[in-house]
Chains A and B, each alone.
Chain A
Amino acid sequence: MNLLELKNVRKHFGGIKAIENFSLNVGEREIVGLIGPNGAGKSTLFNCVAGVFPPTFGDILFQGDRINRQKPWDLCRKGLARTFQIVKPFASRTVLYNVMVGAFAGTDKRAEAERRARAVLEQLNLGHLADQRAGNLTIADRKRLEIAKALATRPRLLLLDEVMAGLRPTEVDEMVAIIKRLREGGMTVFVIEHIMRAIMALSDRVAVLHFGVKIAEGTPQEVAHDERVIKAYLGDEYAAA
């Protein structure tokens, strides 16, 4: 069964057509990558799915329900969590506090929220930073905190928006391992990423977005050898090579 279905999704901002007729299915326990050059519409698509704004046209189905106009906080409670490309920690508070905000989505009790938050922090190797102020973290730890917050809501589908941008290669490998472990635990992951090495290692399937249009979809290998994809990334003159 498909956990997430996008059917002919379009998003227009006035005259700008950010996304045109995008369709994609994300199956249960799948890791699907979404790549594309800067400004291709990847984050816009995520925002449509996460409820930040509704698509202009088309349908978005989550667990079979149409979620087009639902609000982010309601979607979160249904099991759809996301991270932000530009990390948004609650900077003046501790790491534990940050994650507990997410954990409260599933419980009203403080003790239970704290227990869940600590479990997530351990899972992401952040346990030793629990009492640090979120604003003092390094960028790598902030990206991991972003995932920890989302995970604490206990989602079924995790939308990751460039969680590896700006990380060092070793940190990227660590993050890839973390995401793979999440899938082994039953999570479905839909991920936007620029780092090709990571997306190739991670994804079962990759969709390529270019100027708001899906130009390719397939296994990482298929996509990497697709002529249209190479053109989109490197320009026409490299296509022959």
Chain B
Amino acid sequence: MSPSLARKLPLVLAAIVALALPLVLRSPTYLHILILLYLYAYLTTSWNLVGGFAGVLPLGHATFVGIGAYTSTILSLQYGISPWIGMLVGAVLASIVGVIIGLPTFKMRGAYFALATIAFAEGIRVMTFQINGPRGLQIPPLTTGFASFMFATKEPYYYIILAMLAGVLALTWFISRSKLGYYLVAGGEEPEAAQALGVNVARAKLIAMAMSSFLTAFAGTFWAQFTLYIHPKSVMSLDISFEIAFIALIGGRGSIAGPVLGALLLRPVGDFSRIYFGDTVPGLHLIIFGVVLILVMFFQPRGLQEPLTRIYTRVVDRLAGVREAA
């Protein structure tokens, strides 16, 4: 067996396990935890197009989640338009907002960019309170089924978010190997050198931002249809933006596996600490995130993805009997 094939085989196995899991796992609680895990892996992978490849640290992606959620929900509540169409409308809207935010802020460096994106996101969140105020929007579960994006059980949601995650991962893989991917990395690492090599850095970043916000808005609609209740705090809060950044930083920015690994590691920690310690030590998961982040930044500043990939290829090669050419 060739080494590259051997290295891909476990990924295929993982995909099969992911597909078969709801058949074995009957507990709605665990399915719920898995759905949120995939959702955050999806969100972080979308974020990674800008925050990873383009080398900036946007901390306002919750805005795009909110725009997606509110657009599809309002369209379906007020005009009876299917959430699937609303999902697309929300995504277009989000990418327009993304470009508007990106235009002035991509000129800023480091922390200033991060702060500016927080400011934009918080501003939009406050404005969203105008829409039915702090009571939020409730989606009445009248008609279930695929067309209305509403289901009585968790399994359909599970498969939808799994498909979305697979799609966004495939897209990321494709982009990372394309001219745009090279230009984003180059512009993120050494903007001046990239420009001298023909890279319009600002344009590449704006394209990435448009795609990233477009995809992030999809997650917003999914969230709205999954919880059937949205509220500025639930779909637009800074906590979401921060958790995305946490996952990306710990998993490894700018890699394809990083966001998924980060979500796999952090989400269960968060969920189980909330389940078991939620009453006694509220907010414990944030403390754990913080400690993990500090440790990772200290020992593996480029995220856990790097050492894990190394171990992974070594183990797989050993199992497949591949000897490295000496």
**What is the interface of chain A, defined by CB distance below 8 A to chain B?**
50, 52, 71-73, 76-77, 81-82, 84, 88-93, 97, 100-102, 104-105, 108, 110, 113, 149-150, 152-153
Closest to B181 in A: A110
CA distance A231 to B193 in the complex (A): 35
Query: With a CB–CB cut-off of 8 A, which chain B residues contact A108?
Result: 179
CA distance A102 to B196 in the complex (A): 9
Complex partner residue of B194 from A52, A71, A81, A101, CB under 8 angstroms:
A101
Flag if A88 contacts B193 (CB, 8 Å): yes
Flag if B192 contacts A93 (CB, 8 Å): no
Chain B nearest CB from A8 CB (Å) reads 25
Query: With a CB–CB cut-off of 8 A, which chain B residues contact A97?
Result: 182, 185
B144 at the interface (CB under 8 A from A): no
B177 at the interface (CB under 8 A from A): yes
Query: With a CB–CB cut-off of 8 A, which chain B residues contact A82?
Result: 196
Docked complex: B179-207 residues within 8 A CB-CB of A: 179, 182-183, 185-186, 189-190, 192-201
0/1 string, B199-241, CB within 8 A of A gives 1: 1110000000000000000000000000000000000000000
Chain B nearest CB from A130 CB (Å) reads 15
Flag if A71 contacts B195 (CB, 8 Å): yes
Docked complex: B140-191 residues within 8 A CB-CB of A: 177-179, 182-183, 185-186, 189-190
CA distance A89 to B302 in the complex (A): 18
CA distance A50 to B192 in the complex (A): 11
Known pairs A84-B196, A153-B197. 15 more at Cβ < 8 A?
A50-B196, A52-B192, A71-B195, A76-B195, A76-B197, A93-B185, A97-B185, A101-B182, A101-B186, A101-B197, A104-B198, A105-B197, A105-B198, A110-B178, A113-B179
Query: With a CB–CB cut-off of 8 A, which chain A residues contact B189?
Result: 90-93
Task: State the majority secondary structure of interface residues on B.
Answer: helix
Query: With a CB–CB cut-off of 8 A, which chain A residues contact B186?
Result: 90, 101
Flag if B199 contacts A73 (CB, 8 Å): yes
Q: List 29 A-B contacts (CB under 8 A).
A: A50-B196, A71-B200, A72-B195, A72-B196, A73-B197, A73-B198, A73-B199, A76-B195, A76-B198, A77-B198, A81-B197, A84-B193, A89-B190, A90-B185, A90-B186, A90-B194, A92-B189, A92-B302, A93-B185, A100-B182, A101-B183, A101-B194, A104-B183, A108-B179, A110-B177, A113-B182, A152-B197, A153-B197, A153-B198
Closest to B179 in A: A104
Query: With a CB–CB cut-off of 8 A, which chain B residues contact A89?
Result: 190, 193
Flag if B196 contacts A150 (CB, 8 Å): yes
Query: With a CB–CB cut-off of 8 A, which chain A residues contact B201?
Result: 73
Chain B nearest CB from A223 CB (Å) reads 28
Query: With a CB–CB cut-off of 8 A, which chain B residues contact A76?
Result: 195-198
